[in-house]
């Protein structure tokens, strides 16, 4: 059975893909936060700051929801990987 055909490796690759997506999302959020901090430091008026803060809060909520979904997917993949490892251990014991 090749490396690509083994279910535990497919599950691990899916997990890595999800983790990469989460890392990319966090990097994007960090860049947005840094831009917002820079804007606040430049002395824009209070109305623009308030509007931008509301936009960032909405983005933050969306990001939190996406992270929660990603965490759930990671947990699901970890459970699948554990199941596959357990199955392999049982097969090894049966031999």
Annotated domain spans of the chain? 7-94
User: pLDDT at position 57, please?
Assistant: 94
pLDDT, tens digit (0-9, with 9 covering 90-100), for 3-49 = 557 888 888 888 899 989 889 998 998 998 888 888 766 666 776 77
pTM to 2 decimal places: 0.49
| CB distance 52 to 36 below 8 Å | yes
The residue whose two tokens read 């090749």 is 2
User: pLDDT at position 68, please?
Assistant: 93
Q: Determine the average pLDDT of the residues in 70-85.
A: 92
Q: Report how far residue 81's alpha carbon sits from residue 36's, in angstroms, rounded to the nearest whole number.
A: 40
User: pLDDT at position 38, please?
Assistant: 80
User: pLDDT at position 36, please?
Assistant: 80
Q: Report how far residue 86's alpha carbon sits from residue 76's, in angstroms, rounded to the nearest whole number.
A: 15
């Amino acid at each position: 059975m090749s490396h690509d055909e083994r279910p535990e490796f497919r599950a691990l690759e899916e997990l890595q893909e999800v983790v990469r997506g989460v890392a990319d999302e966090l990097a994007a959020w960090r860049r947005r936060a840094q831009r917002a901090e820079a804007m606040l430091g430049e002395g824009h008026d209070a109305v623009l700051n308030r509007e931008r803060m509301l936009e960032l809060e909405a983005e933050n909520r969306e990001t939190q929801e996406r992270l929660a979904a990603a965490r759930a997917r990671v947990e699901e993949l970890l459970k699948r990987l554990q199941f596959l490892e357990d199955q392999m251990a049982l097969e090894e014991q049966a031999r």
